[in-house]
Chain A
Amino acid sequence: MNDDRKRIEEARQVWEEKLLHPRVKRFRLSQSPTRFYTPLDRGEDRFLEKVGFPGWYPFTSGNNPFDFWRAYAADAAKLGFRPDWGGAGRVGKYGGFGTAADYRDYLLRMQSMGRKGGPNIAFDLVTQCGYDSDSPYAEGEVGRVGVAVDSFRDFQVIYEAYTGDLNIDRVPSNYTINAPAAVIIAMYAALAKKRGVPLEVLEGTPQNDILKEFIARGTYIFPPAPSMRLFRDICVFCTKYMPKLNICSIGGYHIREAGATRVQDLAFSMANGKAYIEAALEGGLAIDEFAPQMTFNAFGGSMEIYQEIALQRAARRMWARMLKERFGAENPRSMMIRQPITAHIGCSSTTLQRPLNNLARAVVGGMAAGMSGGIPGAYPPFDEPLGLGHSLEAVQLQIDATRIMIYEAKVADVADPWAGSYFMESLTDETETAALEEMEKIEDMGGAVEAVSYMAGAVARSAYERQKKIENQEEFVVGVNCFTGETEMEVTVNRMMEATYDPGLMRTAEERQKAALEQLKRERNDRAVSNSLKMLEKKAEDVGENVMPAVCECVENEATLQEICDVLRGVFGQAEPIKL
């Protein structure tokens, strides 16, 4: 082997002298614009330790010998089955708007058209920030980017769409909510209780990734430390009573979309995951009790196809190693990055200029996804940056591009097709090493909770650096800072789409939601509400207590989401906006 390395080294020198350098000179460059990788770049060849078989530690090649959707891909094609991107399983299309009743009716309409996945709920910003629809902060925002949920009553109205074959013991639920996740989980538990469904069978995924909110997404309520105490309480409660519910869905993708570099995306989401694990251990749980129920939303988001594939491979290996070596996990499921989506371009990679180009971009992202162990989904639809909702043709093209990659290009026919590549293994190592270094920096600051401001600032700085590179033409974006023309094609798109939210309902949602809230406040048992809120306050004040049972009681007594959050605001304080 050593002999072989020496021979390659010598040959490389000759190649550089005789071929490469003269060519660089001929084109008057200071260095070669490309790189060529050899076994020398791959370092030591330890296949089993560093790559391994798909489904085996360290999971670099993937979590399974093949993914579930591959098993029925052929049948799906023959039947004309229409899997939505990211939701080929039992989870429905992500959505939500207006009042609980508006969204329920929408779900029923979708079901009558054959979309029978479980609820995958987007909440409006008012709900995500822990306010009710009658709060002054809510004005203009009620039901806008998701459905408004003020109380258990609203929650039950949404779930009127899920009965019989679609009862909550049959379908999983997804909740894209973080700061008030405890309240929504309590609502789910209360619903099960009311329907006589045992909590143990409930499946679902609350996003519940609060650290990312401080770094990237902005819908935080309480300061980081008490937010982590809430996480601990949720984790302990779910592990004990709802063991099939996922505990969180950690998102690197959001951090990237906020401007993080690839390495920051990876390092920060791993550091956040580590902080969650530590919070759960502090709550008295054993690692293999809860770690198998931790999930990830997604990493990635750039157009750099090779780097994105390396990122996915490095992420799987990093998480596996951390869980096994640092936390002593023994269950392989604890060590896996369980995520529904593997790589795709981020919405921030799409451009408003020449929107049709975004289809080409999404296909590149889909290729990266397919070659790194996920569904080769071409997301998002090309008209994403127009900000008007997706059009019929954009969605059709997106879905068919995915199908073309799967069925015609056969992108997903090989597991980890890059395994063993001199280049890819070297890049995977490089990505992992850089992310570990950045994680160490966070560790030195005391961990992710202590370092949220650092991470938020670093992401903002990276976003700006990228913008500068684009403006200085150090990076090229087609149709934006290069190849721009004097006259541009007018792109018209057809917005007649069955998924469009009713604009009439959107306009009146706030008014109707406030009326329903007023009615709730008239009808409910005020004494029960105030008693349960007082109990919650007491439990929140004692850091050794778990607040979840008290939150459940508040929910059952129809205390509103804001009332519950206000009690916690009183005890925990409010997070300050992060300045520059």
Chain B
Amino acid sequence: MGETNKIRVLIAKPGLDGHERGARVVAFGLRDAGFEVIYTGLRQTPDQIVNAAIQEDVNVVGLSILSGAHLSLTRKVMEGLRARNADDIMLIVGGIIPADDLPALREIGVSGVFTAGTAIPEIAEFIRRHIAGP
């Protein structure tokens, strides 16, 4: 993959939760790791996120959720992507996610879950492994 053909990642904060430390750190980190990163800023609806993902033609959407609303929000983003035939976009989730919810997230179609303490290279490697490259 050439320099001009970077993997594009949308980092998004769905819902009303305002804690964006993790989202911003991951955005900075993936940028430094050579990805094209777009950060939505706070309080995006699932619709806005799906729109941004399609408009920006991203390969990956990363949702950052700490409010406990991860199941319903993730499901909605996934449904939105499917409805727009864009479910080839990989969906990953970060934040405070209890281990008990992992099977449910996998069922929704989430490819990877990265909770607190994850090193950014781990996320970068995961994305590279799963995306063949545009």
**Chain A contact residues, CB within 8 Å of chain B:** 125-126, 128-129, 131, 136-137, 139-141, 144-145, 213, 217-219, 257-259, 348, 351-353, 385-388, 460-461, 463-464, 467-468, 470-471, 480-481, 576-580
Contacts and interface: CB of A to CB of B under 8 A. Distances in A.
12 contacts: A126-B16, A128-B16, A218-B18, A218-B19, A218-B42, A258-B19, A352-B117, A385-B96, A387-B98, A463-B25, A467-B25, A481-B119
Contacts of B106: none
Contacts of B43: 129, 137, 218, 577
A386 B100 CA distance: 11
Contacts of B44: 577
Interface in B24-72: 24-25, 27-29, 39-45, 66-69, 72
B45 A467 contact: no
B45 A144 contact: no
A578 B98 contact: no
Nearest to A461: B28
Nearest to B66: A387
B119 A463 contact: no
Name, among B18, B29, B42, B44, the residue most crowded by chain A CB atoms within 10 Å (CB to CB).
Answer: B18
A385 B66 CA distance: 11
Given A259-B21, A387-B96, A480-B117, A125 B45 contact: no
Given A144-B68, A471-B121, A463 B42 contact: no
B72 A140 contact: yes
Given A259-B24, A387-B97, A577-B40, 10 more contacts: A141-B16, A141-B67, A144-B67, A217-B19, A257-B21, A259-B25, A351-B116, A467-B29, A576-B41, A580-B39
Given A140-B73, A471-B121, A464 B19 contact: no
A464 B11 CA distance: 15
Main secondary structure of the interface of B (DSSP, over half): loop
B15 interface: yes
Closest 4 pairs between A and B when the two form their complex, measured CB to CB: A218-B18, A577-B41, A125-B16, A387-B96
Contacts of A217: 18-19
A382 to B, nearest CB: 14
Nearest to A477: B117
B18 A464 contact: no
B17 A218 contact: yes
B79 interface: no
Contacts of A468: 29
Given A348-B21, A580-B27, A140 B115 contact: no
Interface in B86-106: 96-98
Given A140-B69, A144-B69, A580-B39, A464 B24 contact: yes
Contacts, number: 100
Main secondary structure of the interface of A (DSSP, over half): loop
Nearest to A217: B18
B21 A218 contact: no
Name, among B19, B29, B39, B72, the residue most crowded by chain A CB atoms within 10 Å (CB to CB).
Answer: B19
A213 B119 CA distance: 27
A501 B66 CA distance: 18
A464 B119 CA distance: 11
A9 B6 CA distance: 58
A460 B24 contact: yes
Contacts of A576: 41
B120 interface: yes
Contacts of B25: 259, 460, 463-464, 467
A578 B18 CA distance: 11
Contacts of A348: 21
A467 B124 CA distance: 14
A9 to B, nearest CB: 45
B15 A353 contact: no
Nearest to A128: B16
Nearest to B15: A141
B57 to A, nearest CB: 19
